[in-house]
Amino acid sequence: MGVMFRSSFQLEKLREQSVVEATLALANERADRLDKRIIEQDNAVKSLLDVGRRKDFGDQWLEVAGIQTPTIRAVLLVDLSSSSREVVAFASRAPGVEDEHFRRLLVGNMFSDMKLGAPDSDELRHLHKTYKGQSYLVSHWEREVAGRTYLVVLWHDVPRVIHELFPSLYPESDQQSRVNVVDADGRIIYGPPLSRGGLTIGRQFETTLYKWSLNVTMTSAEELGAAVARRRIVEIALVSLSGLVVIAGVIVILVAAARERNLSNLKSDFVANVSHELKTPLSLVRMFGELLQSGRVESDEKRDQYLRIIVSESERLGALIENVLDFAKVERGKAAYEFVECRPAEVVLRAIEVCRLRAEQEGFAIHTNLATNLPSVQLDERSIEIAVINLVDNALKYAADGKQVTVSVREVDAFIEIRVADEGPGILPEERKRIFERFVRGKETAQKRTRGSGIGLALVKHIAEAHGGKAWVEPREPRGSTFLFTISTKNRQDWSPTPSPDVSA
């Protein structure tokens, strides 16, 4: 900042420096303007030519040549694979004897000046040279077709560049500067002579007319001096602003650090919750497995009961592990979906059947309300089943007092809407948005120490977004919550799945 203060008071030096910098920047911009205009015409022709079709070679270009490529006079196709390098196709805007002269000049003289057969010879190149006292500009590139190498040549009409393109790019009415174009010998090709008293900067055209140079002199030096004075004030203001930016940066770092600490705590809670969820079904499976192994089972009815418990807890354990693995893929951005055409109601029913045994054991009744004549849509069956299972599982865990869960499927506008309604205590209004964030759990859930990993709803949200929809929660009257997510019924080409692995709201 001290350097900026010192430089702001060196007004005269800055004024001279600014005039030089402004003139140089203007020369670069004006020279690049011509190169860009010519290259745009080259690319326009490049997009219209089909090297493999000699019979109507250049016909598409001729239809738009006068509008899109005003300086290009003719296009030629040369077979480089032949020993004579003959011109096999030719299209001209003004056919005449000059076309034949150019053809002979190309074959006899220009080939030796082109870098043919180079590793990057398929890139657009330009040749600017004087032959027999006349300046020529050609654009060219190579193409491989059916094992043969062809050279495409665009012949630019240099007089038309001078008389039509230069006036439009460098008008004499420009009040900011004066411009002229000179050849390699310093002879003026276009524009007026420039006064020797002022600062004049010359710059060669880099890509196209590289044998010529553009000269620029500023006509608004006094205005630049005033601009320098304004720049001094601006720099002082920037010094002050930079101090504010530093302070703001420190605040942002502190806030980011606090968020990282909070996320770290949430991850620690997540690990603890998952460990607890894994431990409980494993303990039950082991205990009842040891009872069966020991043979100390009073009856066949008890044996069947123990086996049902082992199967149920194993399924629950597998579902939890699948949830964690799927969420890990989402976090790493590697979640992959296999979209197939199917009926969403059938997928939802399969997910409900997975949960029905546990629901009956816990005294829950699962009701369904599936609309008829739902359309088939593109979806990933496994991920939709996981989403429904997660929502039903949450209802069984967190709405145990209600003993009823209703799963509905209907079509709303261009979406399939899947609803899972419970009769539990509901979600606090301030928690409804954050409940779909990763590792976030409701306050009442944490106080009651209900088992859960905090990733189920985050996974549901990501699955919904990957299917062109969204996920949210609504309150029910008089009590309970309804969790919803949607699936787009459009073709997958009509919407873009959310690519981000960050499933926070």
How high is the pLDDT of residue 291?
A: 78
Stretch among 20-24, 123-127, 174-178, 320-324 having the lowest mean pLDDT: 320-324
Section 156-183 average pLDDT: 89
How high is the pLDDT of residue 234?
A: 80
The domain defined by 8-219 folds into Beta-Lactamase (3.30.450)
Closest CA to 141 of 122, 156, 155: 122
Stretch among 65-74, 266-275, 288-297, 404-413 having the lowest mean pLDDT: 266-275
The half-sphere exposure of 78 on its side-chain side, counting CA atoms within 13 A, is 21
Cβ contacts of residue 422 below 8 Å, gap of 6+?
Answer: 395, 398, 399, 402, 404, 405, 406, 476, 480, 481, 482
> CA–CA separation, 264 vs 272, rounded Å?
12
In order of 42, 54, 446, the CA distances from 49 in angstroms are 11, 10, 68
Helix (H) or strand (E) run with residue 287 in it: helix 221-294
Query: DSSP code of 163?
Result: I
Q: Is the pLDDT of residue 379 over 80?
A: yes
Q: Is the pLDDT of residue 3 over 70?
A: no
Beta strands (DSSP E) in 21-71 are none
Stretch among 88-102, 156-170, 286-300, 403-417 having the lowest mean pLDDT: 286-300
Query: DSSP code of 126?
Result: E
How high is the pLDDT of residue 504?
A: 34
Domain with CATH 3.30.565.10 in the chain: 333-494
Section 195-201 average pLDDT: 73
How high is the pLDDT of residue 356?
A: 85
Confidence of residue 17 (pLDDT cuts 50, 70, 90): confident
Cβ contacts of residue 269 below 8 Å, gap of 6+?
Answer: 439, 441, 454
Q: In the 3-class helix/strand/coil scheme, how is 91-103 assigned residue by residue?
A: EECCCCHHHHHHH
How high is the pLDDT of residue 336?
A: 67
How high is the pLDDT of residue 499?
A: 43
In order of 353, 420, 427, the CA distances from 475 in angstroms are 26, 12, 7
Section 153-180 average pLDDT: 89
- pLDDT tens digits, one per residue of 263-309: 776 666 666 566 656 666 787 788 878 878 887 777 878 878 878 77
Domain with CATH 3.30.450 in the chain: 8-219
Cβ contacts of residue 345 below 8 Å, gap of 6+?
Answer: 370, 371, 374, 409
- pLDDT tens digits, one per residue of 432-444: 878 888 767 666 5
Closest CA to 347 of 325, 365, 364, 370: 370
How high is the pLDDT of residue 225?
A: 54
- pLDDT tens digits, one per residue of 40-52: 999 999 999 988 8
Instruction: Please state the φ and ψ torsions of residue 148, each to the nearest 5 degrees.
Output: -115, 150
- Mean model confidence pLDDT for the chain: 82
> CA–CA separation, 406 vs 232, rounded Å?
70
Query: DSSP code of 198?
Result: S
> CA–CA separation, 35 vs 27, rounded Å?
13
How high is the pLDDT of residue 100?
A: 92
Q: Is the pLDDT of residue 202 over 80?
A: yes
Confidence of residue 505 (pLDDT cuts 50, 70, 90): very low
Classify strands 404-412 and 365-370 as parallel, antiparallel or unpaired: parallel
How high is the pLDDT of residue 269?
A: 61
Section 156-176 average pLDDT: 89
Cβ of 186: how many Cβ atoms within 10 Å?
9
Which is higher by pLDDT, 492 or 261?
261
Section 464-490 average pLDDT: 91
How high is the pLDDT of residue 223?
A: 59
- pLDDT tens digits, one per residue of 324-368: 676 666 666 656 678 999 999 999 999 898 888 778 888 899 999
Q: Is the pLDDT of residue 498 over 80?
A: no
> CA–CA separation, 310 vs 245, rounded Å?
61
Residue type, 417: E
> CA–CA separation, 66 vs 44, rounded Å?
12
Stretch among 107-111, 221-225, 426-430 having the lowest mean pLDDT: 221-225
User: How deeply is 338 buried, as exposed, middle or buried, from its count of CB atoms within 10 A (0-12, 13-18, 19+)?
Assistant: exposed
Alpha-carbon 341 to chain mean position: 27
How high is the pLDDT of residue 117?
A: 80
Cut 0.95: pTM above it: no
The domain defined by 333-494 folds into Heat Shock Protein 90 (3.30.565)
Classify strands 415-422 and 481-488 as parallel, antiparallel or unpaired: antiparallel
Q: Which residue has the tokens 């019924």?
A: 489
